Structures are given as C-alpha cells and as structure tokens.
A and B are shown apart, each in its own frame.
Chain A
Amino acid sequence: EADIYQTPRYLVIGTGKKITLECSQTMGHDKMYWYQQDPGMELHLIHYSYGVNSTEKGDLSSESTVSRIRTEHFPLTLESARPSHTSQYLCASSEWVGRGHEKLFFGSGTQLSVL
C-alpha cells in the first residue's frame, strides 16, 4: 500500500492569507493529483502531475497553483485565500498496475476553512 501524507489536517485562516497545503508520498509514484470536494458532492480534479517538473490543470478551474520539484512532494498554494476556497482538498498518487490501469491512493485530506 502507498503511504501518502497531507498536512495540515485542518486549517482555519482569514481572508487574504497565503497558504500552502502539503502532500508527500513515499512510494515513488510518478503521477500525483489534487482533488477538491465539497460536502455530499463528487470529487473534482484541480491539478495533476505526471512527474518532476510536470504540472497540469484539472477539470475544475482553481485559483490555486502547484509545483513538483521532487517526486515525493506535490504542494498546493493559494496566494490569497477567500471564503469561496473553503473545501476539503484531497491529494492522491497512482500506481501503474499494467495495461493502462492505474490504482489511486489518497491522503487523509485537508479541511480548509477561510473566514
């Protein structure tokens, strides 16, 4: 099983603050993802990466940015947080299981509340 860690677990901040959500995985997976999830709603892909120095925007437009300088690390940054950014952010990495099949592993998530 992959080990994937997200910090902080919960974050309550004021409007206008810059924040970085951390995500690290120890299994050497090349592909990593950030999803956003509101209560009772489906997950929406906001960023993904195929490997070091690769970052792509997902299906849902987001004001956040990501970086991938090291394989194991995929942080997400909001330059100026707003109440509309309040949500749960889930990080994932995927393992190649052959023939186009990839299995996703998720972190525990960061619940962000912007006041």
Chain B
Amino acid sequence: KQEVTQIPAALSVPEGENLVLNCSFTDSAIYNLQWFRQDPGKGLTSLLLIQSSQREQTSGRLNASLDKSSGRSTLYIAASQPGDSATYLCASDGSTNDYKLSFGAGTTVTVRA
C-alpha cells in the first residue's frame, strides 16, 4: 500500500516568508500526486495536481514539484500571508493500492501577521 509521509507536522512562519512543505511516498509507480488545503473542521480543497509525466505545477503563489525516482514532492508557497494558515495534505496513488489515493497526515501551517 502506498505510504505518504509529510514533514514537518507543523510550521509557524512570519508573514512574507516563503513556505516549503515536504511530502514523500513509498511507491514510485504513480499516476498523479495532489496537494490539498484543509481549513479547521472543513473539507479539502484541491490546490494542485501533478501528473506522473510532469515535474511541476504552478498556480499563483503555489508551486509543486515532483521527483518520482526519489519518491518526493515539495509544495512551495511564496510570500506567505495569514490567509495561508491551514493544513496542507499531500495525496498520491500507486500500483500497490490499485491507484486509489493515499493521504499524508498533513502539515499545519501558521502564518503570523
């Protein structure tokens, strides 16, 4: 089964600093990897989807990279704002789980004003 790990579990930064969130996965035979945002007590909002043939995806201040060979993805958030405070989850499919998504436990980000 695909195992997804996110480090660190929590992160606190001052406003304006760039954020770097790490995700690792055990099965490199993936179709895609997705990053989600979750606000407290809410559902998940899809941020970026990186297909297995891609190395990165960008949306506004967000950039996600994918390195299948090393089993890693990184989410960069430029010039962080207090509104970026949330939990960010990484999810990946894999051949060992019939290509259903497996989720990491998330990184909880706090951006201090």
Contact yes or no, A42 B43, CB < 8 A: no
**Binary per-residue interface labels of chain B (23-53) against chain A in the complex, 1 for a CB within 8 Å, 0 otherwise:** 0000000011010100001111110010100
CA A71 to CA B89, docked complex, whole Å: 28
Contact yes or no, A42 B4, CB < 8 A: yes
Contact yes or no, B32 A101, CB < 8 A: yes
A45 contact from B42, B100, B104, Cβ within 8 A: B100
Min Cβ gap A85→B in Å is: 18
Min Cβ gap A68→B in Å is: 16
CA A3 to CA B99, docked complex, whole Å: 24
Q: What is the number of residues of chain A that contact chain B, defined by CB distance less than 8 Å?
A: 27
Contact yes or no, A103 B104, CB < 8 A: no
Answer yes or no: B101 CB below 8 A from chain A CBs.
Answer: yes
Within 8 A of B (CB), among A84-106: 88, 90, 92, 97, 99-106
Min Cβ gap A30→B in Å is: 14
* Nearest residue, chain B, Cβ from A1: B46
Contact yes or no, A100 B46, CB < 8 A: no
Q: A42-B102, A92-B44, A108-B42 are in contact. List 10 more A-B contacts (CB 8 A).
A: A6-B43, A42-B105, A48-B100, A59-B97, A59-B100, A99-B51, A100-B32, A101-B51, A106-B45, A109-B41
Could you list some 18 contacts between A and B, CB below 8 A?
A: A40-B105, A40-B106, A41-B105, A42-B89, A42-B104, A42-B106, A45-B101, A59-B1, A59-B97, A59-B102, A99-B31, A101-B32, A104-B36, A104-B91, A105-B46, A106-B43, A106-B44, A109-B42
